[in-house]
Structure 1
Amino acid sequence: MNKDDNNKDEFNIDDHKNTDHKDDPDHYEEICYLCRRPESKAGKMIHIPNQICICPDCLQKTFDTINKGDNPYMQMMGFSPNMMNIPNLQNEIPKAQKLKKKPKENTDNKVFDRKSVPAPHILKAMLDEYIIGQERAKKAISVAVYNHYKRISTGAHPDVEIEKSNMLMIGPTGSGKTYLVKTLAKLMNVPLAITDATSLTEAGYIGDDVESVISKLLQAAGNDVEKAEHGIVFIDEIDKIAKKRNTNSRDVSGESVQQGLLKLLEGSDIEVPVGATSKNAMVPLATVNTSNILFICGGAFPDLDRIIKARLNKQTMIGFKAEVKDKDEDDSNILQQVNLDDLREYGMIPEFLGRLPIMFTLEGLSQDMLIKVLLEPKNAILKQYKKLLEMDEVDLQFAPDALEAIAEKAMEKKTGARALRAILEDIMLDIMYEIPKDDNIGKVVITKEYIEGKGVPYIEMRGVGNQKMLAMNN
């Protein structure tokens, strides 16, 4: 082989230079040095020395400031409007112009067409593939989402103004509140912003303002305002902004945050920073209307069951027929009996609850439901592990009593479905470490004894009959 032939296959650095098009004006926009707006927003830039670009608006404001003559810095330098004859220059300076918005294609409108929105029974059937149980919650959220997007669709009736169907989800930890909203947004193909209410504070204090919720939605929509105005916002841990009791300090993360969220839930024009979570002089602002944004609030509301039990026990009979033990003491789904009075006593203000007309609860997961969570969902965690081992051509199986042992351990942790992942990660650690060592392993069986720490998993070697099972060394 010739030397020239070898050089043909070599990587030529010169051929790949300038591939990022940094100097090509067709790929990069110029940005105003003062207002930081791009050329597509501010108009054609005016170039001044030192490679500085200024938009017509900022240049006009600069000349107006000089023309007034009340600038203390100009007076200190000895300049005056008469000396510079600035009024004669006003006719030559171009007026600030507003760029006309480009008409968008009809593809965005088709997404929210009334006929393209799935019916409630179809939406619930799609949720059933991912979420176990929670029939009441899935039915309520399917109807609310269908009515909301039917309200903002192109076929909405102009004579009757339909109110927003914001929702409040109440359920114990690990019952699937966040997962339900994530699955819903994926099925609807709309931008979703998930935020935590614990970081929200009153404006002017350390923390996130309520407008940061819309800023995250705008970021999820790719800074497309029109797309963000049809999105979904899920505010988790909403119970953490309840009114604080017996406190002498200012409640900057409780009732004041609820009052700040009122304008978002009701619908108003909010100025949010683009590409950042806080407003400053170097970040451009965009106006987002929240009238068509669906808000879903969720929280575990710890100790709310005590308030519900206290209300229910007020009706207990007094005398010889009185019950010694509370009949709802062992009820794991007592949150389903919640009402607005209980939430007001918990610390939620009436104005906030009034803007969340749809309220439903999620059930606590039982042992049988946890076993179904392991097996039945479309992306169940056991299916994920089986796929991982299938890549190594190994068949992973769980004995039925092993699944029961995993569910029992998860019930003891009292963290719902979140405990399943932690338990399986601990169980599968040694297996995922040992399997790639031997290419002759063809099958792995997880038993109850291994889950309880009393035994080891069994493996079956390739080409060996099913009768011969070997214990895998830890």
Structure 2
Amino acid sequence: MSDHDTIIIDEDQNQDFREVDLETVEDPKEEVVTVEDSQDDKEDDYEKVCFICHRPESVAGKMMEFPNNITVCQDCLQKSFDAMSNMPTDLNKMMNMPGVQFLNLSDLDSLFPQQPKIKKKKKKSTKKYKKLDIKEIPAPHKIKEQLDQYVVGQEYAKKAMSVAVYNHYKRVATDTMDDIEIEKSNMLMIGPTGCGKTFLVKTLAKLLDVPLAITDATSLTEAGYIGDDIESVVSKLLAAADNDVERAEQGIIFIDEIDKIAKKKTSSQRDVSGESVQQGMLKLLEGSEVEVPVGANSKNAMVPLTTVNTKNILFICGGAFPDLEEIIKERLTKKSSMGFNAELKDKYDDDKDLISKVTVEDLRKFGMIPEFIGRLPIIFTLKGLDKDMLVKILKEPKNAILKQYQKLLALDEVNLIFDDSALEAIAEKAMQKDTGARALRAIIEEFMLDIMYEIPKDDNIGQVTITREYIEGTGGPIIELRGQQVPRLS
């Protein structure tokens, strides 16, 4: 055999012959060079789809393979076996009946259209979570110190949350203490829009490294009506925990807009999204075993269910309760009378901290049923944001919005500076909008649009200073070129 002879290797009877040059093989006796089938690699990139329920393998689980590339999930297969076993006719007898012909699997390709291919999702990193240890739970003052780095103000709210969370996870870690069962520390947060209720909960879950589910109470309805079932809040938590039931049972559920499910006072129809939802949530708040779907938001015949115990899930409810101040004011002004030491009826008209005087009776009058309030033992309020707090929110937190823009321009090697007077002007504009900290982003996005558009045009720009005049529209930012300062008006 010469040096340039070739060996023909038949990998498969159905495949073409492939030639291997002996010059590419160091020792033909020890190595055999084969070429992988690229078609198989392409097929591995796609998920298998159930022929009956059309669910992909990532949702339905492991598939059973049949001839002609037909795949069926285990749920459909089991239901098919159950249906066949419950049939009154004996299938064995039908095999010998003349004129009866069973379906041939090879004929299915021509009967049904080709199933769409679904690409496989990239596997997430399998991070192993440590079991909750009482020694590793941070003390309340340490939790508050971490919250201070992200949340400005709201000292009482941060203190109350830190203590409640610390006590709750001590209860979860120990399960019981000298046979004395510790009750859950569910919370109710009351505060105006944009004061930081959702941001507080998000920051808390991030610091504690526990799964968090945020849901809106306005979408919840009584079972059987259009909308989300009450158990859907638990299924969202299970999804946030990567379908790990044990980890989900130590998570946090934040239900926002809880004031929207208050009992309707003037309604002759059935209150399916108010009092009924409150009553349905009682078992979740106190602790019960709930069957929730895995990999879906609603229950149906094709989705497997799993049981989640809500005994150790921390529920935090939040709402603005817009008309609650009027109820508090009405209660307080009832004490007014005539004569010496009498309280004036307009005494509480200008009280900006009136919401902090809330009582359980006020919440009951607002429309929350007593059983629901009783399962939220920790009630605290958040203050509305004033001008000074808005200025601090702009620049002090770790992820302050000004720091975000400074980092964006730093990537273009441009230094961004905000005058103190400019920050005050932004805070004043936000106060006029009356939407809390949410207004800050909208205002900054508006005046930073032109700057973010123009800066990349000129490589000579080294620094931009935002002034009060630019915010108010009477001037422009100060642009400094590299090595010189040039004031420029817009």
TM-score range, shorter chain: 0.7 to 0.9
The alignment covers a number of residue pairs equal to 424
Q: Deviation per CA, 1:441-461: give whole Å up to 9, x if none.
A: 111111111111111111011
Q: Look up the match of 1:61.
A: 82
Q: Given that residues 30 and 45 in structure 1 are in contact (C-alpha distance below 8 angstroms), is that contact kept between their aligned partners in structure 2?
A: no
Kindly state the Cα deviation for residue 213 of structure 1 after the two structures are TM-superposed.
0.5
Question: CA separation in 1, counterparts of 2:390 and 2:61?
Answer: 56
Q: Given that residues 243 and 348 in structure 1 are in contact (C-alpha distance below 8 angstroms), is that contact kept between their aligned partners in structure 2?
A: yes
Match of 2:285 among 265, 272, 277: 265
Question: CA separation in 2, counterparts of 1:15 and 1:287?
Answer: 44
Query: Under a length normalisation based on structure 1, what TM-score does the superposition of the two structures give?
Result: 0.82
| 3-state secondary structure, aligned to 1:444 | strand
Q: Look up the match of 2:245.
A: 225
Question: CA separation in 1, counterparts of 2:58 and 2:379?
Answer: 46
User: CA 1:406/1:53 → structure 2, altered by over 3 Å: closer, same or farther?
Assistant: closer
Q: Given that residues 132 and 369 in structure 1 are in contact (C-alpha distance below 8 angstroms), is that contact kept between their aligned partners in structure 2?
A: yes
| 3-state secondary structure, aligned to 2:173 | coil
Q: Deviation per CA, 1:93-112: give whole Å up to 9, x if none.
A: xxxxxxxxxxxx9964x441
Q: Deviation per CA, 1:409-429: give whole Å up to 9, x if none.
A: 111111111111111111111
Question: CA separation in 1, counterparts of 2:438 and 2:59?
Answer: 46
Question: CA separation in 2, counterparts of 1:376 and 1:274?
Answer: 41
User: CA 1:64/1:14 → structure 2, altered by over 3 Å: closer, same or farther?
Assistant: closer
Q: Look up the match of 1:51.
A: 70
| 3-state secondary structure, aligned to 1:282 | coil
Kindly state the Cα deviation for residue 147 of structure 1 after the two structures are TM-superposed.
1.0
Kindly state the Cα deviation for residue 278 of structure 1 after the two structures are TM-superposed.
1.2
Q: Deviation per CA, 1:383-432: give whole Å up to 9, x if none.
A: 11111111111111111111111111111111111111111111111111
Query: Under a length normalisation based on structure 2, what TM-score does the superposition of the two structures give?
Result: 0.80
Structure 1 segment 384-423 matched on structure 2, within 5 A: 384-423=404-443
Kindly state the Cα deviation for residue 156 of structure 1 after the two structures are TM-superposed.
4.7
Question: CA separation in 2, counterparts of 1:360 and 1:445?
Answer: 41
Q: Look up the match of 1:470.
A: 487
Percent of matched pairs sharing the same residue: 63
Question: CA separation in 1, counterparts of 2:59 and 2:198?
Answer: 38
Q: Look up the match of 1:280.
A: 300
Q: Given that residues 36 and 283 in structure 1 are in contact (C-alpha distance below 8 angstroms), is that contact kept between their aligned partners in structure 2?
A: no
Q: Deviation per CA, 1:312-367: give whole Å up to 9, x if none.
A: 11111224764555221111121110010000000000010111111111111111
Structure 1 segment 272-311 matched on structure 2, within 5 A: 272-311=292-331
Kindly state the Cα deviation for residue 58 of structure 1 after the two structures are TM-superposed.
3.4
Matched, 1:135 2:155: yes
Match of 2:275 among 255, 264, 268: 255
| 3-state secondary structure, aligned to 2:432 | helix
Q: Look up the match of 1:146.
A: 166
| 3-state secondary structure, aligned to 2:335 | coil
Question: CA separation in 1, counterparts of 2:408 and 2:477?
Answer: 17
Question: CA separation in 2, counterparts of 1:409 and 1:136?
Answer: 27
Question: CA separation in 2, counterparts of 1:83 and 1:191?
Answer: 56
User: In structure 1, what residue type is equivalent to 2:427?
Assistant: A
Q: Look up the match of 2:29.
A: none
Q: Deviation per CA, 1:173-227: give whole Å up to 9, x if none.
A: 1100000000001001111000000111111111111011111111111111111
Q: Which moved more, 1:15-24 or 1:294-303?
A: 15-24
User: CA 1:257/1:188 → structure 2, altered by over 3 Å: closer, same or farther?
Assistant: same
Question: CA separation in 1, counterparts of 2:201 and 2:364?
Answer: 25
Q: Deviation per CA, 1:240-270: give whole Å up to 9, x if none.
A: 0001111122111100010111111111111
Question: CA separation in 2, counterparts of 1:429 and 1:57?
Answer: 59
- For structure 2, the 5+ residue unaligned runs are 1-34, 96-125
User: CA 1:425/1:222 → structure 2, altered by over 3 Å: closer, same or farther?
Assistant: same
Question: CA separation in 2, counterparts of 1:50 and 1:420?
Answer: 57
Please tell me whether Structure 1 or Structure 2 has the larger radius of gyration of its CA atoms.
2
Matched, 1:208 2:225: no
Match of 2:256 among 236, 239, 250: 236
Question: CA separation in 2, counterparts of 1:260 and 1:136?
Answer: 31
Q: Given that residues 35 and 284 in structure 1 are in contact (C-alpha distance below 8 angstroms), is that contact kept between their aligned partners in structure 2?
A: no
Deviation >3 Å, runs of 4+: 13-21, 28-50, 52-60, 79-85, 105-108, 319-325
Structure 1 segment 138-177 matched on structure 2, within 5 A: 138-154=158-174, 156-157=176-177, 159-177=179-197
Question: CA separation in 1, counterparts of 2:395 and 2:92?
Answer: 84
Q: Given that residues 335 and 361 in structure 1 are in contact (C-alpha distance below 8 angstroms), is that contact kept between their aligned partners in structure 2?
A: yes
User: In structure 2, what residue type is equivalent to 1:292?
Assistant: N
| 3-state secondary structure, aligned to 1:187 | helix
Q: Look up the match of 2:212.
A: 192
Q: Given that residues 218 and 228 in structure 1 are in contact (C-alpha distance below 8 angstroms), is that contact kept between their aligned partners in structure 2?
A: yes
Match of 1:22 among 22, 29, 44: 44
| 3-state secondary structure, aligned to 2:316 | strand
User: CA 1:300/1:54 → structure 2, altered by over 3 Å: closer, same or farther?
Assistant: closer
Match of 2:385 among 365, 387, 390: 365
Q: Which moved more, 1:39-48 or 1:188-197?
A: 39-48
User: In structure 2, what residue type is equivalent to 1:357?
Assistant: P
Q: Deviation per CA, 1:284-331: give whole Å up to 9, x if none.
A: 111111111110000000010000000011111224764555221111
- For structure 1, the 5+ residue unaligned runs are 1-12, 70-78, 86-104
Q: Which moved more, 1:141-150 or 1:177-186?
A: 141-150
User: CA 1:82/1:434 → structure 2, altered by over 3 Å: closer, same or farther?
Assistant: closer
